[in-house]
């Protein structure tokens, strides 16, 4: 990434952080899914299929406009594999046109010099690729050996920030691979982070002593800002719950391919309201709702957004904040159970 562009991006980020600290009444980060389909089938993943079609561009544009009108700061395109969407560049361009920061999470398979140049032109600002191991195996083919050529292309042509995330847990066989991935990222002048990953059912597995040791080593090599923001990971690695206020459904939004707002990728179905109908009343309710899954949550980006408001506005149990329709559902469930 060119230095002048990097400095400009840092200024914009600082502006967004100040705005988020001054006002709690807008989303900071939205994950937007343009396509559920993926070219891979990682063993721990519950976020893909092999058959769905891309969401049409005009629908995606309407969703982006709505996020803009809610005052969202950052929109990150995720999936599935979003690079399979034939109009990804237009989607990114639309995010930039609405004045929001445009990010992308990808498995890296589709990067060629030509494709990277098109993403530069569209205005992409952040890319994250997660690499799970050095050699492909039955759990994951997001492997350094397969992707190294793509990383070299990115190092040469990308005019956006690239972060390489390595992972620990979730059935990854050789935890030391995370060290090789982080070293390669540093060599290519990318930033690097490390995440603890879920099992297929979204639950957390405690790390083994060897995994814990490698986790700490990789963290030291990585992005200092992220390490500072991700202290929750130390508790999770130790198998201890972490006490924080998850602001999913408000400061963080997850919008699936059907255009519904969910707490996050691991808690789909609630609130399950169409983005186009999402109001500040929904935002306020979710902001105040305590999430039962927070103590063992490993989703780094939602934790990072949560830091902005952890010190203010205590939350209430879901029973006290649920929308009317959900309360009716609950009463219906109780009556059916009886």
Instruction: Give least dist CB 158 to ligand SF4, A.
Output: 19
Which residue from 32, 33, 48, 191 is in contact with ligand SF4, where contact means CB under 6 A? 48
Residue with tokens 């719950």: 241
C-alpha span between 5 and 117 (Å, rounded): 15
199 counts as binding ligand SF4 under rule CB under 6 A:
no
Question: HSE of 144 in the Cβ direction (CA atoms, 13 Å)?
Answer: 20
Among 95, 100, 260, 302, binds ligand SF4 (CB under 6 A): 302
Compute the least distance from the CB of residue 232 to ligand SF4, in Å. 10
Q: Which DSSP state fits 316?
A: B
246 binding ligand SF4? (CB under 6 A): yes
Retrieve residue 207's tokens.
Answer: 């790390």
Which of 27, 34, 80, 170 contacts ligand SF4 by CB under 6 A?
80
Q: Which of 47, 65, 148, 284 binds ligand SF4 (CB under 6 A)?
A: 47
Rounded CA-CA distance 168/47 in Å is 18
Judged by CB under 6 A, which of 75, 151, 275, 294 binds ligand SF4?
A: 294
Q: Which stretch binds ligand SF4 (CB under 6 A): 116-124, 170-178, 288-296, 317-325?
A: 288-296
Contact by Cβ (8 Å): 174, 139: no
Which of 84, 96, 11 minimizes the C-alpha distance to 53?
84
Contact string (CB under 6 A) for ligand SF4, positions 248-287, x = contact: x--------------xx-xx--------------------
111 binds ligand SF4, rule: CB under 6 A: no
Residue 291: CB minimum distance to ligand SF4, A: 4
Among residues 132, 158, 129, which one has the least CA distance to residue 145?
132
- The count of residues interacting with ligand SF4 (CB under 6 A) is 24
Site track 14-43 with ligand SF4 (rule: CB under 6 A), x = hit:
------------------------x-xxx-
CA Rg value for the chain? 20
The DSSP result for 124-157, as a single string, is: --EEEEEE-BSS--SS---BHHHHHHHHHHHHHH
Position of tokens 């089938």?
A: 41
252-255: strand order across its sheet: 191-196, 161-168, 126-131, 101-106, 74-77, 29-32, 252-255, 260-262, 271-274
What is the per-residue DSSP string for 56-99? PHHHHHHHHHHHHHTT-SEEEE-SS-GGGSTTHHHHHHHHHHTT
Identify which of residues 17 and 41 has a Cβ nearer to ligand SF4 in the complex: 41
Closest to ligand SF4 by CB, 61 vs 299, is 299
Binding site for ligand SF4 (CB under 6 A): 38, 40-42, 45, 47-48, 79-81, 107, 142, 246, 248, 263-264, 266-267, 291, 293-294, 297, 299, 302
């Amino acid at each position: 990434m060119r230095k002048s562009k990097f400095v400009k991006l840092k200024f914009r980020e600082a502006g967004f952080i100040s705005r988020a600290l001054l006002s709690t009444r807008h989303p900071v980060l939205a994950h937007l899914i343009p396509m559920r389909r993926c070219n891979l089938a990682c063993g721990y993943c519950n976020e893909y299929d092999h058959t769905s079609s891309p969401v049409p561009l005009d629908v995606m544009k309407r969703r982006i406009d709505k996020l803009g009108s809610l005052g969202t700061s950052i929109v990150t395109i995720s999936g599935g594999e979003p690079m399979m969407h034939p109009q990804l560049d237009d989607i990114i361009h639309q995010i930039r046109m609405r004045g929001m920061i445009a990010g992308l999470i990808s498995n890296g398979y589709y990067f060629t010099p030509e494709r990277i140049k098109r993403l530069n032109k569209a205005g992409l600002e952040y890319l994250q690729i997660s690499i799970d191991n050095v050699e492909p195996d039955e759990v994951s083919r997001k492997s350094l050996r397969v992707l190294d050529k793509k990383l070299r292309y990115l190092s040469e042509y990308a005019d956006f920030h690239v972060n390489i995330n390595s992972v620990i847990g979730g059935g990854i066989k050789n935890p030391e691979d995370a060290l090789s991935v982080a070293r390669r990222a540093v060599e290519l002048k990318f930033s690097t982070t490390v995440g603890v990953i879920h099992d297929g059912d979204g639950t957390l597995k405690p790390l083994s002593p060897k995994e814990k040791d490698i986790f700490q080593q990789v963290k030291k090599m990585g992005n200092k800002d992220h390490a500072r923001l991700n202290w929750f990971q130390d508790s999770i690695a130790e198998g201890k719950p972490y006490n924080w206020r998850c602001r999913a459904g408000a400061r963080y939004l997850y919008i699936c391919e059907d255009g519904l707002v969910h707490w996050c990728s691991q808690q789909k179905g609630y609130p399950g309201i169409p983005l186009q109908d999402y109001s500040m009343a929904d935002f306020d309710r979710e902001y105040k709702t305590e999430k039962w899954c927070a103590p063992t949550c490993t989703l780094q980006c939602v934790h990072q957004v949560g830091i902005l408001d952890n010190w203010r506005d205590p939350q209430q149990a879901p029973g006290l904040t649920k929308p009317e329709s959900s309360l009716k559902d609950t009463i219906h469930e109780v009556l059916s159970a009886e």
